[in-house]
Structure 1
C-alpha cells in the first residue's frame, strides 16, 4: 500500500507564533545593543540569545537594526483605536490616563524598560534612529484615518492629515523627552511609569489646541 501524499515535517507556524518570535528577537536585539553596541552585535548573537538560527532572524528582518521594529510599532493600532473612540469634548490627554494605561498595558508591562533603553539608543545610533522615525512615519496614516473616522470626514481630507501629523509629532517628542532624561532600568517602576504618563498627557494637552 502506498502512503498518502501530503505535507511532511513541521506544521507551519501560526501568525500568533510568528509575532511571538519577532518580539523575542526584538527584545534580545535591544539587550545586546545596550550591552555591546549595534556595530558589535551580529545576527548570530541575536539568534543565539533567542534560541533560533541567524537564518531565522534574517527571515523575519532585513537588518539587525530593523529587529527592534515590533517593540516600536506595537502600540500604533491601539492608539489609533483610542483616537476613533475619543469623544467630542473629551480632553485628548485622557487617551493616556491611568485607567487606560492599566486596562491596556500601554505604558506598563515587561517591555517598558526595554523600549526606554531602545529610545535612548536612537539618540546616538543612526540605524536605530532611522527605524524609529520610519515607525512614526508609518503610524501617521493610521492616525489620520482614525481622526477622519471620528470627525466623519473623507479619508483623504487634509484636516485629519494635518492633525495626525501634529498628534504624531507630539507623541514622539514626549517619548523622547522622557526616555532621554530617565533611566527606566533603575529606580521605582511605578514612579517612572507615572512620569511617562504625565509627560504624554502634557504633550497631548499642548497638541490638543490644534486638534479640537
Structure 2
C-alpha cells in the first residue's frame, strides 16, 4: 500500500521535534534519537531527510516562507521604499516560531558544518522565493540582474541579522536596524583608508 506523502505542516512538526533533539545533543544527535523524535521509520526518515542535518530544513524553510509572506503584505501597503519594507518585515518574520532553545539551535547552525550547509542552502532558496515579489515591487523582470541583486540583498540582510542575533545576542529589532544602517551606509563604496607603516 502506497502511503500519502507528508505535507509541509507535517514535515515542519517533525523538523521542530528533530531540531529540539539536535539542541539537546549540542549538534551531535545520534540517528536513533532523531528517528525516534520524528515518529518515522529509519528508512522513511532518510527518504525525507537524506542526512541528519537535513531534518532542520523544513524549520528553516518555514522561516523563509514566513519572511516572504510578511514582505508581500508590507509591499502591498505602500511602504516608503522596498528596502524599508524588507527592514520592517524581517523582525516580524523572526518572531514566528520561537522556542526556549531557538537561540542555541541557531548557534549550532552557525558553527556545526553540516547544519551550516543546510542553512546556507536554505538562504539560497530564499533568494529564489523573494525574487518574484521584489521584481514586481520594483517594476523589473524576474529574469533581470537588478531583480536578482535585490533578492540577494534582502536575503543577505536576513542572514546578517541572524548572525548579529546569535553572535552579539541582540534582539531581532536591534539586529535588523543595525544591519540596515550598515547597508544604507554602503561601506564598499567608501575609499580605502591609507595604511601607515
TM-score range, shorter chain: 0.7 to 0.9
State the alpha-carbon separation in 1 of the partners of residues 114 and 165 from structure 2: 21
1:52 aligned onto 2:28 = no
1:117 CA displacement: 2.3
1:72 CA displacement: 0.8
Counterparts in 2 of 1:96 and 1:201: CA distance versus 1, 3 Å: farther
Instruction: After superposition, give the CA deviation of every residue in 1:149-203 in whole Å (9 maximum; x if it has no partner).
Output: 1112111111121122122111101111102333xxxxxxxxx8xx212312332
1:28 aligned onto 2:17 = yes
State the alpha-carbon separation in 2 of the partners of residues 136 and 54 from structure 1: 28
**1:95 maps to which of 79, 89, 92:** 89
Preserved CA contact (<8 Å) 1:46 1:54: no
1:74 aligned onto 2:66 = no
Preserved CA contact (<8 Å) 2:165 2:172: yes
TM-score (norm 2): 0.76
Preserved CA contact (<8 Å) 1:80 1:143: yes
TM-score (norm 1): 0.71
CA RMSD of aligned residues (A): 2.7
1:127 CA displacement: 0.3
Which position in structure 2 is the counterpart of 1:161? 148
The number of aligned residues is 180
Counterparts in 2 of 1:157 and 1:41: CA distance versus 1, 3 Å: same
1:64 CA displacement: 0.5
State the alpha-carbon separation in 2 of the partners of residues 55 and 83 from structure 1: 38
1:69 CA displacement: 0.6
Preserved CA contact (<8 Å) 2:109 2:115: yes
Which position in structure 2 is the counterpart of 1:172? 159
State the alpha-carbon separation in 1 of the partners of residues 67 and 162 from structure 2: 14
SS in 1 for 2:168: coil
State the alpha-carbon separation in 2 of the partners of residues 128 and 173 from structure 1: 17
Name which structure has the greater RCO, CA cutoff 8 Å, separation 6+: 1
Which position in structure 1 is the counterpart of 2:174? 198
**1:64 maps to which of 36, 40, 52:** 52
